[in-house]
Amino acid sequence: MTSVLIMTEPQDFHSYAVAEALRRKGVEAVLWQGTDFPGRQRASVWVDESGCDLEISGSEIELRQARFDTVWNRRPTDPVLPDHLHPADRVPAARDCQHFAWSLWHLVAPEAFWVNPLSPIPTAILKPYQLQLARETGLEIPPTLCSNDPGRIVEFLRAHEGETVYKSFHAGSWKTDDGVAMLYTSPVTEDDLPEDETLQAAPGIFQVRIPKDHELRVTFLGERPVTARLHTQGNPDAREDWRRTVSIEVEPAELPEDVARKCRTLMKRLGLVFGCFDFIVTPEGRYVFLEINPMGQFLFLERLCPEIPLLDLFCELLIGSGATPAIRLRDVWEPAERAFLAAPDNHVLKPNKIVAEGSPARREAPPTPELPVLTGLSRP
């Protein structure tokens, strides 16, 4: 039997859906919840002249080294320390737990097929680096300034007055005195800037706004692109950043081969076998690269457009076969939802995990008459 290890964290719906689909295809799927270590997991590594062996046991997991054919490097997550530790001991304990966990990641299945490999991820997620490599491969990119220098930021805004958007390096949310703050791509002018001390303390991405006819989300499964057209301009909430809304029209599309070829080159340079690309398509038909997410969300596309069978295609990437029964997202939704909703009782959650009504996390489960809405799903 083919076996797949999924490195993840408890509040990732994708992991449960893919695991259920794999099992229905006759594949063993094991979820390794990183946050359960060390509170609900124990691990040992033996190294001697005969070689190396590894064992991990705990909540819903029992594994030994070298038994997996594929590892889905979905959401490898740092350990979460138990509350009973003395505050003075938490820093060294956290340091040692992280060191050991990272070692386990590298030792658990060194001969397996990894989606994606561990080593490229720390650099592949870097937005300025992505833009530079994309430019070198021939992809068109927006004029961009990444900076924490108030003077340079003001210069850029004045040079592109009224035509600049702001992005953060990391999408996310956090608690404030007034509730929950969310980060989206937003227009920015000089008048919107905070005081220089704040601006210098928080580097940002400033880009020239590119006119849009529509946007593309292109999921590369190895060499194969699966392209979805997002009709963002018909919804005022989606025009700058489609993550703001769950109401967006999606349909299958095709990516021109010359653009696809450049994307493949970029993925090879980044060391990736899977990635989610975001493009703007201008009214004149230009394809403008925005970013690549090495482990981005993709099931929301099938959720919004069932004609795009991304769950099944992704499972086939993991197991390297096209001969298994076809599985659709609708087929696995209910058991995946049950596992997702049970996660807080069965696993240790990431601290300060915020999921708010209206969050981009809801993209995976937009309201429809047929299926329920989940507010805890990971962001795209």
The pLDDT assigned to 64 comes to 77
The pLDDT assigned to 313 comes to 97
The pLDDT assigned to 184 comes to 86
The pLDDT assigned to 188 comes to 94
Decide if 144 contacts 209 (C-beta within 8 A). Answer: no
In a domain? residue 372: no
Q: Tell me which of 208, 234, 261 is where a domain ends.
A: 208
Summarised one tens digit per residue, pLDDT across range 288-316 is: 999 999 999 999 999 999 999 999 999 99
Domain count, the chain: 3
Q: Would strands 287-293 and 51-58 be described as parallel, antiparallel, or unpaired?
A: unpaired
The pLDDT assigned to 261 comes to 98
Buried-exposed string 279-311: b where 16+ CB fall within 10 A, e elsewhere? bbbeeeeebbbbbbbbbbbbbbbbbbbeebbbb
The pLDDT assigned to 373 comes to 30
Both 126 and 234 in one domain: the answer is: yes
> Percentage of the chain surpassing pLDDT 70?
91
Which structural domain range is residue 164 located in?
Answer: 143-208
The pLDDT assigned to 1 comes to 66
Both 234 and 197 in one domain: the answer is: no
Both 60 and 87 in one domain: the answer is: yes
Would you say residue 283 has pLDDT above 90?
Answer: yes
Mean pLDDT of 366-376: 30
pTM (predicted TM-score): 0.89
Nearest to residue 221, comparing CAs of 322, 298, 297, 314? Answer: 314
Higher pLDDT, 295 or 178: 295
HEC readout, 312-351: HHHHHHHHCCCCCCCCCHHHHHHHHHHHHHHHHHHCCCCC
The pLDDT assigned to 367 comes to 31
* CATH number of the domain where residue 181 is located: 3.30.1490
Higher pLDDT, 207 or 361: 207
Both 112 and 200 in one domain: the answer is: no
Would you say residue 380 has pLDDT above 50?
Answer: no
R_g over Cα of the chain:
22
What is the residue type of 138?
Answer: G
Would you say residue 357 has pLDDT above 50?
Answer: no
Both 182 and 226 in one domain: the answer is: no
> Percentage of the chain surpassing pLDDT 90?
76
How is residue 306 written in tokens?
């069932």
In a domain? residue 374: no
Both 96 and 43 in one domain: the answer is: yes
In a domain? residue 303: no
What is the residue type of 77?
Answer: T
Both 82 and 7 in one domain: the answer is: yes
Q: Tell me which of 294, 329, 352 is where a domain ends.
A: 294
Summarised one tens digit per residue, pLDDT across range 51-108 is: 889 999 998 888 876 679 999 999 999 999 999 999 999 999 999 999 999 999 999 9
Both 50 and 93 in one domain: the answer is: yes
Band of pLDDT at residue 369, cut at 50, 70 and 90: very low
Both 93 and 171 in one domain: the answer is: no
Summarised one tens digit per residue, pLDDT across range 109-134 is: 989 999 999 989 899 999 999 999 99
Both 36 and 123 in one domain: the answer is: no
Q: What is the C-alpha separation between 219 and 228, in angstroms, rounded?
A: 8
The pLDDT assigned to 177 comes to 77
Instruction: Write phi, then psi, for 215 (nearest 5 degrees).
Output: -125, 160
In a domain? residue 302: no
